[in-house]
């Protein structure tokens, strides 16, 4: 009887493994840009027991300022500003894990009304997809010119790294996630990542590095890292016009085409 039970469970395990591998192959076929990400997490994503009985809860934190400049600073990428961040976030989450939230951290350039207008349209589009938007602010600060050594005034984005740190810690304390993904190349986030990892050693924190960035220091403190590729930007655009309900339609700004 004991041998029969062992054989039964061994057969069941083989069946589960075959089903899971079939699902993974299908997902990789439809998401070729994620093949290396999948392989780097092979032991976790191919565990049939973990897949059928517990899915990893994943939360995503997007440093809007950092991601925006990675896109806007390269003339080849500027047409990808109309980015559906919820769809974009899903590119970096295993199909066997549960995406519980996407948080977008940003600030309005209040000195430029036209930029604010376009940004607010974009924020409405993101909220219609279930993205949580956390606003920071810009400050007028003194800067020193490295060439002429003179001091000049400019606007500098403030509070995004602090807001990400607070949200990361707050959600960890409330045990809302097993894995956190931070889309940023900003090394100012290192202390927050290290603090959360010390306080919650069983939780994983990964970094998604914006296109064209390196973020070597962040890589050293993260449990794993992934890279934004051109394919992610191309395939995660909103339609030029989207209907967000109640007769409201939002259009991609002309300068973002």
How many Cα atoms occupy the beta-carbon half-sphere of 59 within 13 Å? 21
C-alpha 39/C-alpha 17 separation (Å) is: 16
Q: What pLDDT, on a 0 to 100 scale, did the predictor assign at position 59?
A: 98
Q: Whole-number mean pLDDT of the chain?
A: 83
Predicted TM-score (pTM) of the model is: 0.76
**Residue-range definition of the domain harbouring residue 208:** 55-256
Q: What pLDDT, on a 0 to 100 scale, did the predictor assign at position 137?
A: 75
C-alpha 65/C-alpha 85 separation (Å) is: 13
With pLDDT > 90 as the criterion, what percentage of the chain qualifies?
65
Q: Is residue 35 part of a domain?
A: no
Whether the pLDDT of residue 5 is over 90: the answer is no
C-alpha 165/C-alpha 195 separation (Å) is: 9
pLDDT, tens only, 157-215: 667 999 999 999 999 999 999 999 999 999 999 999 999 999 999 999 999 999 999 99
Indicate the SS3 state at residue 185: coil
**The domain spanning residue 248 has which CATH number?**
3.40.50.1010
pLDDT, tens only, 104-143: 999 999 889 999 999 999 999 999 999 999 998 766 555 6
E-strand ranges in 186-246 read 204-209, 224-227, 241-245
Helix (H) or strand (E) holding 228: none
Partners of 225 in the β-ladder: 207
Total structural domains within the chain = 1
Q: Is residue 173 part of a domain?
A: yes
pLDDT band per the 50, 70, 90 thresholds, residue 82: very high
**Strands 248-251 and 241-245, sheet pairing:** antiparallel
Q: Is residue 7 part of a domain?
A: no
């Amino acid at each position: 009887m004991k041998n029969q039970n062992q054989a039964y469970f061994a057969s069941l395990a083989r069946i589960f493994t075959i089903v899971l591998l079939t699902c993974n192959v299908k997902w990789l076929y439809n998401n070729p840009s994620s093949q290396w990400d999948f392989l780097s997490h092979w032991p976790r994503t191919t565990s049939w027991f973990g897949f059928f009985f517990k899915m990893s809860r994943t939360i995503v934190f997007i440093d809007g300022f950092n991601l925006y400049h990675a896109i806007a600073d390269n003339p080849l990428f500027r047409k990808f500003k109309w980015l559906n961040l919820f769809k974009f976030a899903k590119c970096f989450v295993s199909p066997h894990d549960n995406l519980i939230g996407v948080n977008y951290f940003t600030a309005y350039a209040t000195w430029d009304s036209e930029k604010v207008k376009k940004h607010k349209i974009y924020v409405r589009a993101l909220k219609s997809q279930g993205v949580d938007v956390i606003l920071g602010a810009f400050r007028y600060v003194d800067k020193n010119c490295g060439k002429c050594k003179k001091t000049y005034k400019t606007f500098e984005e403030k509070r995004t790294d602090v807001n990400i740190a607070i949200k990361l810690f707050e959600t960890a304390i409330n045990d809302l996630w097993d894995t956190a993904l931070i889309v940023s190349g900003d090394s100012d986030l290192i202390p927050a990542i290290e603090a959360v990892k010390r306080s919650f050693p069983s939780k994983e924190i990964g970094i998604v590095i914006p296109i064209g960035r390196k973020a070597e220091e962040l890589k050293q403190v993260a449990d794993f890292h992934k890279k934004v590729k051109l394919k992610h930007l191309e395939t995660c655009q909103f339609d030029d016009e989207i209907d967000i309900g109640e007769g409201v339609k939002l259009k991609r700004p002309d300068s973002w085409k």
